[in-house]
Amino acid sequence: MFEGQELRTHGNWNELKTKARQQYSHLTNDDLEYSSGRQEEWFNRLSTKLGRSVDDVKDWFRHL
Q: What is the pTM of this model?
A: 0.77
Q: Are 14 and 8 in contact (CB under 8 A)?
A: no
pLDDT tens-digit map of 11-57: 678 888 899 999 999 999 899 988 878 889 999 999 999 999 999 99
Could you tell me which residue, 23 or 6, shows the higher pLDDT?
A: 23
In terms of Cβ atoms closer than 10 Å to its own Cβ (0-12, 13-18, 19+), residue 21 is middle
Of the CA atoms within 13 Å of residue 16, those in its CB half-sphere come to 17
